[in-house]
Amino acid sequence: MTDAATTTWPPDAAVTGPDLPRLLPPAPLDLARHIGVHGPLRYAGTPRGLIKEIRAAGLTGRGGAGFPAAVKMTAVADGRGRAVVVGNGAEGEPASHKDRHLLWLAPHLVLDGLQLAAEAVGARRACLYVHRHDQLLRLLGHALAERSAAGCDRIRVEIVPAPPRFLAGEESALASRVGGGPAVPTFKRPRVFERGVGGAPTLVQNVETLAHVALIARFGAAWFREVGTVAEPGSMLVTAHRADGVSLVSEVPVGAPLAEVLGLGRRPAQAVLTGGYHGAWIPVAQAATLPLANAALRRAGASLGAGVLAALPPDRCGLAETARVLRYLAAESAGQCGPCLNGLPRMAGAFTELSRPGADPRCLADLERWSGLVAGRGACHHPDGTVRLMRSALAVFSGEVGQHLAGWCTAGAPAGDRGSAGGAGPAAAPFLPLPAAGPGSSRPTRSRPGRG
Amino acid sequence: MANRLRVNPIACAGHGLCAELLPERVTLDEWHYPVVSGEPVPPELESLARRAVTDCPALALLLERIR
Amino acid sequence: MNGITQSTALWYASRATGVVCLVLLTVVVLLGILVNRQGRLPGLPRFAVTGLHRSISLLAVAFLTIHVITAVADKFVTIQLIAAVVPFTSSYLPLAIGLGAVAVDLIAALIITSLLRAHLGRRLWRGVHWLAYAAYPVAVLHAVTSARDLRSGALLALTTGCVLSVCAAAGYRLATSGSRGRPAFPAGAADGGGYRTLVRAQADD
């Protein structure tokens, strides 16, 4: 596992906003210190009691979908059979570091939340799904041992390692992996909350959501709502990739000004990416006026996602950066569905053509056709998210598109100089973080027929 | 109580029988995979739709109730 | 007609239908592999290939039924009806007839699950359908061990032809099972640059 940005352990975290941090301590907390800071874990007593409090708090999932946690928990609690709870810490998105930071600094908050969620839905089995990182696994093992010695866990927590793939954290891929199968999405009939791991109703919650649950159980819904907006309460973790190349994980109130979180005033940028690699680009002028809240971001055609934000510096080519990400996303296809397996690499190829000065203008028509062919035709939302990113890049970097068709790249490479695959000037390294590609790592897992 | 056709994209291998049997509801994209219209299946096409579901070599076509 | 002539007629009917059954099963397996490889028969739509696969398999079942009934009814040798479905319980040629019973059981499983395939679910139907690759060799072994005249002359040539064609088709299926024909996207399209090759190739198509 390589992080382009926060590669050193323990990670560095900055915070903004009053009454914060709630989730992220400055240094990792063991069980004793955790209890010292937050108080002991207190179970709700009644199975549905906590769900009521979470509903009042308005907590939404922090894994990207933003689905109301209370609704999900109720659905699982109502399901047939003994439920299973899985804390999703797989964090397959390469630009996101918040989950591993949280697990590193405050594992007991997540583990408290896991126990409380299990109590709320009547689960008898609890799992923590995390990336296969030795240091992190050791830390979690140690934390679980502490809890077992202290006797605060009612259910034994099983650590399930996730492969370092983009789709590993997808809900049905998670259910498949926890159930002993491969970490690839399944055809969703029925949904995971009805029949997931081993046919049992499965509650899948991002580890950050579970951490919030742990605090709501202690301090209540009203406390949770003291920070954030009325419509979208609470705090959230963001991974901010600033234009000066520094990447930070921060805990911010929902609704905080995007400009402040990314430091747009002091560090010039040309565009902002929100929602990660299935998110969307926003022009910087517009981004500077927006709060970090779904209501406003959706009006701009974007969303919070799992809190990944990136401010693209002016000396980079937005098309080249997007092309790299699209190539990565194409390689990360599970390879199970024909349209995705066939369409995403072609889209990436056409966009790569567009990202070079002197681009063949046919690629625009091909991009339009292929994006229309893949959206909505996979078993998961991988093609949809990829199309969203691509279309937002075409819109936000439309000026650059015109330049490239005319033979120029304003990021540095003059006409006729195809340069490296990055397309930017020779001095500029790639900006958006991607895992280092090893030989053979760029092929989807299965091959399907295609006649194109 | 109308039905509509739906493809299981993981099971689908692009055989293309569905498009042959029911071109009113299924066309093939440039990679030979089915593009299924989500419109309800009218009664006169119902038996053809059921045949397409049964005949699909990959059992990837489904006829489901529209809720 | 006295008893011996009647018996001879039944015996010939059994052997004749047995040969026809073997040929039909061969065609069914070949068509099944053709369906799986998404192949086509000239001039026919794809649903006709699956339709033929299904129709000929039902025809084979019809001939199989007559083959079994005439063999059981024939009084010259004693084959109990139960021996046709429970393997190795026949008093006449227990091994040969037993193999036939195994083939009958496997084919019954294939036919019944295929008739109910829309209700059984993909995984169950597909799992059972793999037994076709077991049913065919068992049927061939039954034929060769129970009928002496299959081991020489025209019938040997016929049997050999059937077996070789199934082996070739099965070998082809095994060999192409990984990539299923052309790769999903042109090599290098994902690395860029391959787009131009792709566009040029599509212009040539």
Q: How far apart, in whole angstroms, are the C-alpha atoms of residue A206 and residue A305?
A: 12
> Would the CB atoms of B33 and A378 count as touching at under 8 Å?
no
pLDDT score recorded for residue C77: 81
> Tell me: the pLDDT tens digits for C192-202?
557 877 777 76
Q: Give yes or no for C195 touching A (CB within 8 A).
A: yes
Joined tokens for residue A118: 């299990």
Partners of residue C180 in chain B, C-beta under 8 Å: 13
User: Sign of the CA dihedral A329, A332, A334, A335?
Assistant: positive
Q: Residue B66: its pLDDT value, please?
A: 81
Asked which of A15-29, A86-100, A380-394, C42-56 is least confident by mean pLDDT, the reply is A15-29
- Pick C51 or A419 by higher pLDDT: C51
CA distance A184 to A191: 15
Q: Kindly state whether C178 is in contact with chain B, defined as any CB-CB distance less than 8 angstroms.
A: no
In the numeric block, the tokens 């209370």 are attached to: A70
> Could you say which of C178, C182, C192 has the minimum Cβ distance to residue A421?
C192
Question: Under an 8 A CB cutoff, do B15 and C51 touch?
Answer: no
CB-CB neighbors (< 8 A) of B57 in chain C: 35-36, 50
What per-residue confidence (pLDDT) applies to C196? 78
Q: pLDDT for A3-14, tens place per residue?
A: 333 333 333 444
Angstrom distance (rounded) from CA C85 to CA C99: 10
Q: Which of A16-20, B54-58, C28-32, C199-203 has the lowest mean pLDDT?
A: A16-20
A236-312 topology per CATH: Ubiquitin-like (UB roll) (3.10.20)
Least confident of A31-40, A345-354, C110-119, C177-186: C177-186
Say yes or no: A356 contacts chain C, CB-CB below 8 A. yes
Q: Give the per-residue pLDDT at A452.
A: 31
B54 touches chain A (CB under 8 A): no
The strand pair at A280-283 and A271-274 is best described as antiparallel
Whether the CB-CB separation of A98 and A123 falls below 8 Å is answered with: no
CB count in 10 Å sphere of residue C7? 16
Neighbours of chain C (3+ CB pairs under 8 A): A, B
- pLDDT (tens digit, 9 = 90+) per residue, B11-48? 999 999 999 999 999 999 999 999 998 889 999 999 99
User: Burial of A134 by CB count in 10 Å (0-12 exposed, 13-18 middle, 19+ buried)?
Assistant: exposed
Contact (CB<8Å) A447/C191: no
Where along chain B do its domains lie? 3-65
**CATH 1.20.1440.230 domain residues, chain A:** 315-452
Residues 6+ apart with CB under 8 A from C196: A353, A360
3-class SS at A87?
strand
Distance to chain B for C180, nearest Cα, Å = 10
Task: Answer whether residue C3 shows pLDDT above 70.
Answer: no
Read off the pLDDT of residues C82-131 as tens digits, 9 standing for 90 and up: 888 898 888 888 889 999 999 999 999 999 999 999 889 888 999 999 99
Q: Is the peptide bond before A94 cis (omega within 30 degrees of 0)?
A: no
- The crossing angle, in degrees rounded to 10, of helices A362-374 and A382-396 is 150
Residue C91 per-residue DSSP state:
S
Q: What is the pLDDT, as a whole number, of residue C11?
A: 87
pLDDT band at A49 (very low <50, low <70, confident <90, very high): confident
Q: What percent of chain A has pLDDT over 70?
A: 89
Nearest to B66 by CA among A114, B49, A102, A435: B49
CB-based contact (8 Å) between C40 and chain B?
no
Helix, strand or coil, per DSSP, at residue A431: coil
How many angstroms away from the CA of B59 is the closest CA of chain A? 13
Phi, psi of A135 (to 5 degrees): -60, -45
A280 phi, psi to nearest 5 deg:
-150, 150
DSSP category for residue A220: -
The pLDDT of residue C185: 57
CATH code for the domain defined by B3-65: 3.30.70.20
Inter-chain CB proximity A352 and C179 less than 8 Å: no
A345 closest CB neighbour out of C178, C185, C199: C185
Extended strands (E) in A148-294:
157-162, 202-206, 235-241, 247-253, 271-274, 280-283
In chain A, what percentage of residues exceed pLDDT 90? 77
Verify whether the Cβ–Cβ distance B17 to C122 is below 8 Å. no
Smallest Cβ–Cβ distance between B16 and the set C36, C46, C118 belongs to: C46
Assess contact for B25 and B41: CB atoms under 8 A. Answer: yes
B/e letters for A268-296, b = 16+ CB within 10 Å, e = fewer, are: ebbbbbbbbbbbbbbebeebbebbbbbeb
Tell if the CB–CB gap between A421 and C199 is shorter than 8 Å: no
Residues of A in contact with C200 (CB under 8 A): none
- Predicted confidence band of residue C79 (pLDDT cuts 50, 70, 90): confident
Task: Kindly report the average pLDDT of chain A as a whole number.
Answer: 88
Architecture of domain A315-452: Up-down Bundle (1.20)
CA–CA distance, A15 with C91 (Å, rounded to integer): 87
CA distance readout (Å), A168 to A69, A160, A432, B29? 21, 12, 20, 28
Tell me if chain A has a CB within 8 Å of the CB of C126.
no
Tell me which of A106-115, A253-262, C141-150, C157-166 is least confident. Answer: C141-150
**Residue A412 above 70 pLDDT?**
no
Q: What does the alpha-carbon distance between residue A445 and residue C81 come to, in Å, rounded to a whole number?
A: 51
pLDDT of amino acid A1: 34
In this complex, do A337 and B9 lie within 8 Å of one another by their Cβ atoms?
A: yes
Q: Give me A148's structure tokens.
A: 């077992």
Q: Which of B11, B20, B60 is nearest residue C47 as measured by Cβ atoms?
A: B20
- Which pLDDT does position C139 carry in this prediction? 96
Question: At A311, which helix (H) or strand (E)?
Answer: strand A308-312
Give me A297's structure tokens.
Answer: 């971001």
Query: What pLDDT does A418 receive?
Result: 44
pLDDT of residue A370: 96
How many angstroms separate the CA atoms of A199 and C191, rounded? Answer: 40
> Is A44 in contact with A119 (CB distance < 8 Å)?
yes
Q: CB–CB of A139/A107 below 8 Å?
A: yes
Whole-prediction pTM value? Answer: 0.89
Total structural domains within chain C? 1
For residue C181, give the chain A residue with the closest CA. Answer: A449
In this prediction, residue C89 carries a pLDDT of: 84
At A236, phi and psi to the nearest 5? Answer: -145, 155
Say yes or no for a CB contact (<8 Å) between A377 and B11: no
- Cβ under 8 Å to A: C residues 24-43: 38
CA distance B50 to chain C (A): 9
Residues of chain A with CATH 3.10.20.600: 236-312
Taking a C-beta distance cutoff of 8 angstroms, is the pair B15, B29 a contact? no
ipTM: 0.94
Portion 425-444 of A in contact with C at CB < 8 A: 442, 444
Judged by a CB distance cut-off of 8 A, whether residue B13 touches chain A is yes
Contact at CB, C38 and B15, closer than 8 angstroms:
yes
**Nearest CB neighbour to B9, from listed A338, A450, A452:** A338
Kindly report, residue by residue over C4-61, the tens digit of the pLDDT.
Answer: 577 788 888 999 999 999 999 999 999 999 999 999 899 999 999 999 999 999 999 9
The residue segments making up the domain with residue C71 are: 3-204
> In the prediction, which pLDDT does A63 show?
94
Give A127's pLDDT tier (boundaries 50, 70, 90): very high
Instruction: Identify all chain A residues contacting B11, using CB atoms and an 8 Å cutoff.
Output: 187
What letter does residue A233 receive in the DSSP assignment? B
**Nearest C-alpha in B relative to C124:** B59
Q: In this complex, do C46 and B11 lie within 8 Å of one another by their Cβ atoms?
A: no
Asked if B64 reaches chain C (Cβ–Cβ under 8 Å), the answer is no
* CATH H-level superfamily of A23-224: NADH-ubiquinone oxidoreductase 51kDa subunit (3.40.50.11540)
**Of the given ranges (A114-128, A294-308, A426-440), which has the lowest mean pLDDT?**
A426-440
Residue C84 backbone dihedrals phi, psi, to 5 degrees: -75, -20
Residues of C in contact with A330 (CB under 8 A): 190
The per-residue pLDDT for A322 is 96
Which residues have C-beta within 8 Å of that of residue B30, sequence separation ≥ 6? A373, A451, A452
Which residues does chain C have within 8 Å of residue A350's beta carbon, measured at their own beta carbons?
A: 195
B14 in contact with A, Cβ within 8 Å: yes
* pLDDT recorded at residue C9: 87
